[in-house]
Amino acid sequence: MLDFIKKNNVKISGEGEQAIIFAAGFGCDQTMWRYVAPQFEKEYRVILFDYVGAGKSDYSAYQSEKYKTLEGYAQDVVEMCKELNLKEVIYVGHSVGATIGMLASLQDPALFKQLIMLGPSPCYINDLPSYKGGFEREDLDGLFEMMELNYIGWANYLSKVVMKNLDRPELAAELEGSFCSTDPLCAKEFARATFLSDYRHVLQQVTVSTCILQCEDDSIAPKEVGIYMNEHIKESAIFFMEATGHCPHVSQPEETTQLIFTCLANI
């Protein structure tokens, strides 16, 4: 009945004229934005959604062929914007959610006014000496293999690597729960689509104004990666956060919220 709303479990809240979309990272759903997104409801129309295959999306809409690359997810973002008659949205994407927004902006630039990227990476694999993505291909193959053989163990391990902040073990535990509650088939295909992607060549085609929020001590998107993106996107700025790890919207929501407002003011 609800088509795209059901498919992507779309939620609409807030009162402003300007739409702001919050997009999750790999293995996560919109609940990861629960500390940050409500702060924008007074001034913005807040749109939350889940990728097909994650959260409370419609799993019957999952197609391996479509979602084997991030373009499939980006296509859904474009469709959602069109169905909602959105134009010139603010798009805040975490991690691979940032890449998905960037790809959506290449599919239809007029839909986007600004991209705010939280811990983005155009390529996770090192291409030394010119590019340090943070992972060797063998590391990733090891992760994919672990997903096959011991999904729970993989979720436990990766959640700690991603979240950091191990003095607050409930944070990694939440992320682990999020990974574990994701359908393993979808998660495995999304993991390959994410971690094997290389979108360095499209950065220069991005025309939408971009802000990069770069965490300290982020093992998934190291500082060099944020700087690389900032250098290659035409109209971009980078802000270095005090937050550590790869999920500042969960571990340091106040700083994240504040910086998003700063980005919004700087357009």
- Return residues touching a second copy (CB under 8 A): 1-3, 5-6, 9-13, 15, 17-19, 45, 56, 84-88
249 catalytic per annotation: no
> Active-site residue among 50, 57, 94, 95?
95
User: Looking at this protein, which amino acid is placed at residue 234?
Assistant: K
**Helix segments in 150-214, DSSP class H:** 151-163, 169-181, 184-195
Q: How far is the CB of 32 from a second copy (least distance, A)?
A: 16
Radius of gyration of the chain (CA): 17
Specify whether the CB–CB gap between 190 and 26 falls below 8 A.
yes
Classify 182 as helix, strand or coil: coil
Three-point CA angle 220, 55, 76, nearest 5°: 80
246 catalytic per annotation: yes
Considering the complex, state which of residue 9 and residue 114 has its C-beta at the smaller distance from a second copy: 9
Instruction: For a second copy, give the closer residue by CB, 45 or 164.
Output: 45
Among the options 105, 246, 249, 251, which is catalytic? Answer: 246
Residue placing its CB nearer to a second copy in the complex, 112 or 154: 112
3-state helix, strand, coil split of the chain in percent (to 5) is 50, 20, 30
Question: How far is 133 from 212, CA to CA, in rounded Å?
Answer: 16
**Beta carbon of residue 3, minimum distance to a second copy (angstroms, whole number):** 5
> Catalytic residue among 218, 236, 249, 251, which?
218
CB 115 within 8 A of CB 211: yes
Q: How far is the CB of 108 from a second copy (least distance, A)?
A: 15
Nearer to a second copy, 1 or 149 (CB): 1
| Shortest distance (Å) from residue 22 CB to a second copy | 15
Hey, which residues are catalytic here? 95, 218, 246
